[in-house]
Chain A
Amino acid sequence: MTSPNPGAASSRNGALIWIGVGAVIVVLGVAAIFFARGSGSDEVEGQTGSVEVGGSTTAPEGTSDTATVADVLPTYDATLTDDPAVGMTIPSVTGKDFEGNDITISGDDGKAKVILFVAHWCPHCQKEVPLLKEHLDDVPMPDDVELMTVSTSVKPGADNYPPQEWLEGEGWQAPVLADDENSSVAQAFGLSAFPYFVVVDADGKVVQRASGELTTDQFDALVEAAQG
C-alpha cells in the first residue's frame, strides 16, 4: 500500500477548482441568455428624426434691428458675469413632440418663455423635473410666460430611457420638443450642462440663461425675468 502523494493531491485539487470555476461561468452564461430581456428594435425612442434650426424669419415686433437675429446662441459659460447671448434673438427651431406632432420654439410668437432643456439620464434633471412639477402645481406659470421643454441627448440603454416615459411618469405638463440625435436644438441654444434654462422675453430675445439644479425661488426669478 502506497502513502498519499501531497503533490498529486494538490494538482488534483487545482484542476477541480478550475473545472468548477469554468462550470460556474458556463452556468451563469446560460442563465444570462435565458433571463435577459429582449432588446427590441434598434430604433431610438424619444427623438425627432430631424429638427429645423434657423434664425428668426421675421424681426420681432417693435424692432427693426435684424442684426441681432442669430442662427445659434453662443455656448453658455456660467462663469461669465456678462452672458454674450443676452439680447440676442433665439433661433427658431421646429421638431416633433413625443406624439409626433409638430412643435416650434421661436422668438416670433410674441410670447415670453422659459425653455428648459433636460436629459433623461441626468440625475440633476431627475431631481429638477419633479421639483418644478410640484412647484408648478402650486404656482402655475403666469399667462404671459410659456414654459417649454426640450428633451435632448437621448442615450438608449441609459437611466430613465425612453425620455417620454420618464416625463410622463413625473406628470410633466409643459410641451416637450424631442431633439434629434445630434442634439441640434441644444447646440443651437448653446447648451453646456444639464438642466439648462433659457429665458426669453416677448420680443424673442434672450434675457438670461442658467444651468444646473435651481431652487423654486430661482426658477420664479427666471419667470419674472421673462416678464420683463
Chain B
Amino acid sequence: MDTDVVTLFFAMLATLAQLVVVAAVVLWLGSKASPAVDRAKRSVLAVVGPQALAMAAVVALVCTLGSLYLSEVAHFPPCELCWYQRIAMYPLVVVLGVAALRRDLGARITGSILAGIGACISIWHLLVERYPDLGSGSCDPTNPCSIKWVEEFGYLTIPGMALSGFALILVLLAAARPSSQEDPS
C-alpha cells in the first residue's frame, strides 16, 4: 500500500488519540469543579473502564505495527531516540495483552511506567526535531534524530504520533476498572 496513505492513516489515528486524551483530561478536570461533569465522568468510566486494559493493549499493538511498517516497509530508518521509544512501546503489547486476557489490573503500574518513560522520550525527540541545537550544532549524515520523515497536518511527526500513543495508553490505564461482575462493590 502507498506510504502516503498509510502515514496519513497513522496521523489520523494519532489525532484521534489526541482528541480522546484531551477529552479525558477535560472530563477529569471538569469533574473536580462540576457535579454534573463528575456524573458524566463516572458514566464514561463505567462503560469504558472494563474494556480499557484491552484497548490499551490494542493501542500498543497498533503503535508497534506502525513503527515496524515505517522502518521495514517505508524504509524510514529509526534513529537512536526512535529505538528508545520502541523499547518502551513494544513490551507494552505483551504486558497489557496478557493483563487484558487475565483481567489483571495490577499490570497498570508496569504499563504506566513504560508508557510514561516512552512519552518522556517522545517529548525530548519532538524538542530535538523542533530545536535541533538541543542535540548538536550539526547533522549526523547517517541517521540524525532531527530528521522529519513524516510531517502530517503541519505538525504531526513520527515522535508526535508515538507520544499520542503513549498518552492514550496512559489515559486508558488510568480509566481501567474491573467489570461489574468482577467488582462486588
Interface residues of A (CB under 8 A from B): 6-7, 10, 13-14, 17-18, 21, 24-25, 28-29, 31-33, 35-39, 119, 121-125, 153, 155, 157-159, 183, 186, 191-195, 211-213
Contacts and interface: CB of A to CB of B under 8 A. Distances in A.
Nearest to B129: A123
Contact of A32 (B5, B74, B146): B5
A155 B147 contact: yes
B13 to A, nearest CB: 6
A183 B2 CA distance: 27
Contact of A121 (B16, B58, B148, B181): B148
Contacts of B149: 155, 157-158
B144 interface: yes
Contact of B4 (A29, A39, A125, A211): A39
Nearest to A6: B180
Contact of A36 (B2, B16, B148): B2
A186 B12 CA distance: 38
Given A6-B180, A7-B180, A10-B180, A17 B51 contact: yes
A193 B144 CA distance: 10
B6 interface: yes
B80 interface: no
A18 B58 CA distance: 11
A17 B47 contact: yes
B12 A159 contact: no
26 contacts: A6-B180, A17-B48, A17-B55, A18-B51, A24-B16, A28-B13, A29-B9, A31-B12, A32-B5, A35-B8, A36-B4, A36-B5, A36-B8, A38-B2, A38-B4, A119-B139, A122-B147, A123-B129, A123-B132, A123-B146, A157-B3, A157-B74, A157-B76, A158-B147, A193-B141, A194-B138
A206 B8 CA distance: 47
B180 A124 contact: no
A213 B12 contact: no
Find the residue from B138, B144, B181 having the highest chain A CB count within 10 A.
B138
Contacts of A195: 138-139
A114 to B, nearest CB: 17
Given A7-B180, A39-B2, A39-B3, A212 B137 contact: yes
Given A10-B179, A32-B5, A186-B141, 19 more contacts: A10-B181, A14-B50, A14-B51, A17-B47, A21-B58, A28-B9, A29-B9, A38-B2, A39-B2, A121-B147, A122-B146, A122-B147, A124-B137, A155-B149, A158-B147, A159-B148, A159-B151, A193-B138, A213-B138
Nearest to A33: B5
Q: In the A-B complex, list the 4 residue pairs whose CB atoms are closest, starting with the nearest.
A: A212-B138, A32-B9, A122-B139, A193-B138
Interface in B13-64: 13, 16, 47-48, 50-51, 55, 58
Contacts of B137: 124, 212-213
A183 B141 contact: yes
Contacts of B8: 32, 35-36
Nearest to B130: A123
A183 B58 CA distance: 41
B138 A211 contact: yes
Nearest to A9: B180
Nearest to B11: A32
Contact of A13 (B4, B47, B139): B47
Nearest to A127: B132
A14 B47 CA distance: 7
Contacts of B132: 123-124
Contact of A193 (B48, B129, B140, B150): B140
A123 B138 CA distance: 8
